[in-house]
Chains A and B, each alone.
Chain A
Amino acid sequence: MNHRLIRYVFGVLLLMEAFFMTVSTGVAVYYHFACGDSDWWCLATAAVLTFLAGSGFWWSGRKREHGMEKRDGYLIVSLAWIIFSLFGMVPYLLYGTVDNLTDAFFEAMSGFTTTGSTILENIDTQPHGILFWRSMTHWLGGLGIVVFSLALLPLIGGTGANMMFDAETTGLGGSKLRPKIQSTARRLWGIYLMLTLVLIFLLSLGPMSVFDAVNVAMSTIATGGFAPHQASLAFYHSAYVEYVVAIFLFIASLNFSLFYYAGIGRWKMFWRDEEFRWFVRIVLSFTLLFIVMTSAVRSVDWVSQEQLLALGGENPDFLTVLRMSFFHVMTIISSGGFQAEYFDYNAWGMLFWQPTFVLMMCGGCAGSTAGGMKVVRAAVFVKSIKSDFTRMLHPRQVSIVKLNGRPVPTSVIYKVMAMFAIYVILIFLMNFILQMLGLDIESAFGTSISAFSNTGPGLGLTGPAFTWASVPDAGKWLLAFAMLMGRLEIFTLLIVFTPLFWRKY
């Protein structure tokens, strides 16, 4: 293993984090003068600490040799997220936002992995700087820490950069836009920045303050879920905000390379992309399903008053039901996890839970900022099962799985199946552990799925109306880990824990 190179990369990554902490410090200083916030020194101290640590790593790796093994790539990407969270939690601890290490680390990891589950019960009283840093963790993590740095800094070149890019980006691989990985990353970053700026503009047209607009925009494009208010988006009581956010969650769940191709005039790539078509179909049919289910549940006579209130209030018109259903589908499938006016699916009734968790596990498109298993895998999964059935009935018939008109190699199908299996196994395992820690089965199950899919709200105790503060400490550490596993699509992180990884061959 190339230790010096690993240290050098960590150094550069931390220097980048220190830079963005300094930006947050700037915000805090502004609000110190504007409204007397007192958190700027926490962010400044954190920035200095991170800068020192980053320079230390960088200096100790300055005599690095070129050449990176595959395992270096996996290790760097896995550890980068943990190191980022370790430094990212410092402002929370210093300011006293949280009073213990567990909660601070959980909040930071939840931020970077764009899960957006919070343990904070007092968001509304937090100072601007801390809130801004919280949203910033989403924004840095959304595109992937390493991809983000590849775009901004001359981190490393050659095959090493390719390996790290591959280990961090989501989907089935092969999503290069340009021959050079740095220029690919730079273009993705450009798209990311552009979308964020457009959203900030659109949101600030509505009832939001500019500060809120910036925070919500960073959180939305990263499909995170942190909001500057405890009530999340419900705080604004605005259909405009909900529609704009839902539409941008949709955009952020698309493969970013599609925007690149659109940018160079190849608009047709959108509809030609099979994953995009699947995604649109899933979104539309589930929205319809929720509308139908809502009307059906509201019309039966055993519906409780509580359920009626949660499902759109006393006497909702069609538009309210449509808004509620569309926002729900988008916030869950994109793994955003924002909460709107009628958001508490926990109270909607058990009937609604099943489709919600299907959406959660499905996730957005490959190469987006969304979590979950990704639509492309779901597509390959369904198609390969279909071709299995064909083979059972007609053993001589040749059937292959095709995606975008090209056959999917068997190795990829295997990997999709393996991913699905490991995903389900891990969810059950996590569910079991959380139950042993004292959670009821509803909460444990919902929390596991939500953590592995990077969504945010769970079920029961961790449901949309509550925070995750009530989960025991051991559970929080495990869940932080689960979120990272979900963000790196399991294999990148899991392989570091195999004995094979640490043997020479």
Chain B
Amino acid sequence: MKIVIAGAREVGTHLAKLLSGDNMDVILIDDDPDRISQLAFLNIMTLLGSPTSIATLREAEVNKADLFIAVTPVESVNIHACLLATNMGARRTVARIDNYELQKEDSTTFYRRIGVSSLIYPEYLGGQAIAGAIATPWARLSVEFCRGALLLLGVKVRAGAPIVGQKLMELGREHSKQYHVAAIKRGENLIIPSGADIVEAEDIVFFMTTPDQQNAVRLVCGKKEKDIRRVVFMGGRRMGVQASFCLPKNMDIVFVEEDRQRCEQLLELVKGCHVIQGNISDMEVFSELHLTRNDCFVALGDYSGTNVLSCLNAKKLGVGKTVAEIEDVGYITIADNLNIGSTVNKKLLTAASIYQMLLDADKTSAKVYSLVDAQVAELEAQPDSYITKDMIKNLRIDRDVTLGGMVRDGVGYTIGGDTQIQPGDHVVLVCRDEKIRQAEKLFLS
């Protein structure tokens, strides 16, 4: 696979780092020598030049690229670069955009026709993730796989929940059709569980389930259904606006925004919302909001630290659910340990969505989502592959690999010991970072 990335800012650099691990040749283009020189030690090739210069693109051998990703901050540059790349022979192009209108069906088909295969709007992805977190307020993490047929839920379990103290083997006997415990995060460690493992209080348990079975997961974790009626967005930037579009219509929406002009824009953009002009760190604003347990507090300020702190404050004031935007990937683990509910990171979401595109281009391997030390991967079983030989319980599979769920003919199922994988099934598995190659081999003929 040859991948050319234009724009060495946050998303571009993050993608380059993630993609460079596998057997992919990554070339990163940027026109700022300082940014380029900081990436000297990555296992990628950097190229100084404008992404819209034909000479630069030729030097990057765009004609041989399987994927061209334009993620500079300027939408028009990205689209321009993608058009050039397609016409020079790139197989597939992705442009980052910052205009919601372009996401509409008719404009995506139009852009596909003129040469931009996909458009990515990170703020929209972030908005979707926030809406997902609000829809399952009792879960820390909620990620959809195989276009929504399977769901990965991460739930923090407290003492007294039915699941605590149970052996997974016993749990599996009764509920294997409903969910599958794919991983457990205990403190800093991630455990890929076997049947003999026992869930402890304060663990974060990752369940693989289908969307219609999420209630079973909620019950076994001892979580009460929370009725979120109002969402408070701290910061009125685009991600919040996108999230508000994804929320149910009956939800009350409040924006807290410092800039007067933006406040007025927000009123125009989001119908029926309330806007408060104020600062995220102003305690007066908090008291004015009268937060209750039927509220969700979403902190989308410029600084991760402020977001985390304001979420902690909101929690203290009794809010039902908090979501914080954390821009620095390195701080996500720390934020998770702070009990602030869910976290959102545009970079990880964008990267995950581009991985999804890689899967479409190259059926054999894809890394879809990264937990702390583990990968959640979606793989397609090839005809005659080892995994299709027998029922799961009779196969020899590494203990650091667990098969969570699968999609057959568009319908999601969880996987138990009696499941027989058939060729063409899409399987979502969780495994330790270093075992991903081993896991892949199971699926190759």
Contact = CB atoms under 8 A, between A and B. Distances in A.
Chain B binds chain A = yes
Contacts of B48: 406
B contact patch SS: mixed
A409 B41 contact: no
Interface in A153-185: 157-159, 161-163, 166, 173-174, 176, 178-181, 183
Instruction: Give the interface size class of chain B.
Output: 10 to 19
Interface in B395-419: none
A162 B41 contact: yes
Contacts of A180: 25, 43
B20 A179 contact: yes
Nearest to A181: B43
B171 interface: no
Contacts of B27: 179
A427 to B, nearest CB: 30
Contact of A178 (B20, B33, B42, B45): B45
A166 B41 CA distance: 8
B40 A158 contact: no
B37 interface: yes
A409 to B, nearest CB: 6
A180 B25 CA distance: 6
A409 B45 contact: no
B424 interface: no
B41 A159 contact: yes
Interface residues of A, number: 17
A158 B43 contact: yes
Contacts of B43: 157-159, 161-162, 179-181
Interface string B33-49: 10001001111110010
Given A179-B20, A179-B27, A163 B33 contact: no
Contacts of A406: 48
B162 interface: no
B21 interface: yes
B68 to A, nearest CB: 14
B45 A162 contact: no
Nearest to A174: B40
A173 B40 CA distance: 9
Given A179-B20, A406-B48, A409-B33, A162 B42 contact: yes
Nearest to B43: A158
A179 B44 contact: yes
Nearest to B2: A179
A155 to B, nearest CB: 13
Interface in B1-60: 20-21, 25-27, 33, 37, 40-45, 48
Contacts of A162: 40-43
Given A179-B20, A179-B26, A409-B33, A163 B41 contact: yes
A180 B27 CA distance: 10
A162 to B, nearest CB: 5
A406 B37 CA distance: 14
Contacts of B33: 409
Interface string A37-73: 0000000000000000000000000000000000000
B90 to A, nearest CB: 16
A49 to B, nearest CB: 34
Contacts of B25: 178-180, 183
A166 B26 CA distance: 19
Interface in B112-135: none
A431 B384 CA distance: 72
Those 4 A-B pairs whose CB atoms lie nearest each other, nearest first: A179-B45, A179-B25, A159-B41, A162-B41
18 contacts: A157-B43, A158-B20, A158-B43, A159-B41, A159-B42, A161-B43, A162-B40, A162-B41, A162-B42, A174-B40, A178-B45, A179-B26, A179-B44, A179-B45, A181-B43, A183-B25, A406-B48, A409-B37
Interface of B: 20-21, 25-27, 33, 37, 40-45, 48
Given A163-B41, A173-B40, A179-B27, 19 more contacts: A157-B43, A158-B20, A159-B41, A161-B43, A162-B40, A162-B42, A162-B43, A174-B40, A178-B25, A178-B45, A179-B20, A179-B26, A179-B44, A180-B25, A180-B43, A183-B25, A406-B48, A409-B33, A409-B37
